């Protein structure tokens, strides 16, 4: 064997010894059957002849991914928001923040002191509405007021219970108002339906006074159906009795409005006497003009609280 061939053989043997040594050290540290990427016979990328499972390399400086704390299929929280309905309720919208700016809330301690000596029925109603809508916006010694709360123009809890015997005896302590266009020809049916429903045709506001918010929602929904000609007073009374005499079991008509309340422009300011085209005009026999509609301010006309009784919000 010449010198050149011997040199090649020595080089091959030395390379094999180095590779074998690396493989033995890796087996001692990691167990048998797994080779590092680019090991003996595999090359970079784990080519053929590696004889084991390829272990992918993790780039230096790349942190390992932590397990996902939210199970697959569960709602995920957005920044500053909790998952689920509770998070949705706590996420104030721009509209809600603007409403809070318009109507600041009273201090809880002041409200507690004001209602401490109230009739138990009025106090219970006040507590229920505070739990639902937060502290009121204004109060007197006898009343609490919330403005633009939920679907309502305003809500008032009165420490002046008004007794009502239909369909069973109860105390009307919660007054709530909704914007609703009132057809003049349907006002009589509405009055026959319930004495706890009050109609302000000029302002375009219907108010319901009852023992609970659910009762008020039901009453306003039925008034709306009467205004649309879908019910008469007798049908509305039967529907209301079914809800009230079933111990207040929830129904689609008592949980939320089934219509979109109108905003500004629901009022009917009527006409001046003597203006052509009105019932008071004489001589020309002209047909009455269409009833003009004047937008209400605010969009609501808030109840007037006497200055000497008004408690100022913070």
Has residue 36 been placed in a domain? no
Q: How does strand 34-36 pair with strand 53-55?
A: parallel
* Residue 240 near residue 194, CB atoms below 8 Å: yes
What are the pLDDT digits (tens) for 59-86? 455 444 444 443 333 333 333 334 444 4
Q: In whole angstroms, how far apart are CA 6 and each of 14, 16, 109, 189, 245?
A: 12, 16, 101, 118, 110
Number of domains in the chain: 1
DSSP 206: E
Measured CA angle at 192 (ends 189, 193), to 5 deg:
85
Measured CA angle at 282 (ends 278, 288), to 5 deg:
25
Q: Report the candidate in 75, 138, 128 with the shortest Cα–Cα distance to residue 106.
A: 138
Cα dihedral: 153, 159, 163, 164 (round 10): 20
SS3 227: helix
Say what the pLDDT of residue 115 is. 97
pLDDT by residue for the chain (314 residues), tens only, comes to 555 555 556 555 555 555 555 556 655 555 544 444 444 444 434 444 444 445 445 445 544 444 444 333 333 333 333 444 444 555 557 877 787 788 999 999 999 999 999 999 999 999 999 999 999 999 999 999 999 999 999 999 999 999 999 999 999 999 999 999 888 999 999 999 999 999 998 888 999 999 999 999 999 999 999 999 999 999 999 999 998 888 667 788 999 999 988 765 578 888 888 766 555 444 444 444 444 444 444 444 445 555 555 555 55
Range(s) of the domain holding residue 132: 108-255
Has residue 177 been placed in a domain? yes
Has residue 225 been placed in a domain? yes
Has residue 129 been placed in a domain? yes
Has residue 140 been placed in a domain? yes
What are the pLDDT digits (tens) for 25-34? 655 555 544 4
What does pTM read for this prediction? 0.60
What are the pLDDT digits (tens) for 38-56? 444 444 344 444 444 454 4
Q: What is the secondary structure of 106-155 as a DSSP string?
A: PPHHHHHHHHTTS-HHHHHHHHHHHHHH-S-SEE-SSEEEEES-TT-SEE
């Amino acid at each position: 064997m010449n010198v050149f061939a011997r040199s090649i053989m020595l080089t091959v043997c030395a390379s094999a010894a180095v590779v074998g040594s690396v493989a033995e050290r890796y087996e001692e540290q990691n167990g048998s059957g797994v080779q590092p990427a680019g090991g003996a016979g595999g090359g970079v990328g784990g080519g053929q002849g590696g004889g084991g499972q390829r272990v992918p390399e993790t780039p230096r400086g790349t942190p390992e991914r932590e397990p996902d704390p939210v199970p697959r299929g569960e709602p995920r929280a957005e920044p500053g928001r909790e998952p689920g309905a509770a998070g949705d309720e706590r996420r104030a919208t721009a509209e809600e923040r603007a409403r809070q700016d318009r109507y600041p809330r009273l201090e809880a301690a002041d409200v507690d002191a004001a209602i401490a000596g109230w009739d138990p029925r009025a106090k219970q109603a006040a507590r229920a509405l505070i739990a639902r809508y937060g502290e009121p916006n204004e109060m007197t010694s006898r009343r609490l007021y919330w403005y633009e709360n939920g679907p309502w123009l305003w809500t008032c809890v009165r420490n002046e219970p008004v007794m009502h015997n239909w369909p069973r005896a109860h105390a009307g302590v919660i007054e709530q108002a909704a914007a609703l266009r009132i057809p003049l020809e349907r006002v009589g049916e509405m009055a026959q339906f319930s004495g706890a429903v009050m109609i302000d045709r000029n302002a375009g506001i219907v108010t319901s006074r009852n023992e609970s918010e659910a009762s008020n929602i039901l009453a306003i929904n039925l008034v709306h159906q009467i205004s649309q000609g879908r019910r008469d007073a007798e049908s509305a009374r039967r529907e209301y009795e079914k809800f009230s005499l079933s111990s207040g079991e929830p129904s689609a008509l008592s949980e939320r409005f089934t219509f979109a309340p109108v905003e500004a422009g629901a009022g009917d300011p009527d006409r001046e006497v003597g203006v052509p085209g009105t019932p008071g005009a004489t001589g020309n026999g002209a047909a009455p003009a269409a009833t003009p509609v004047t937008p209400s301010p605010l969009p609501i006309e808030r109840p007037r609280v006497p200055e000497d009784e008004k408690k100022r919000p913070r």
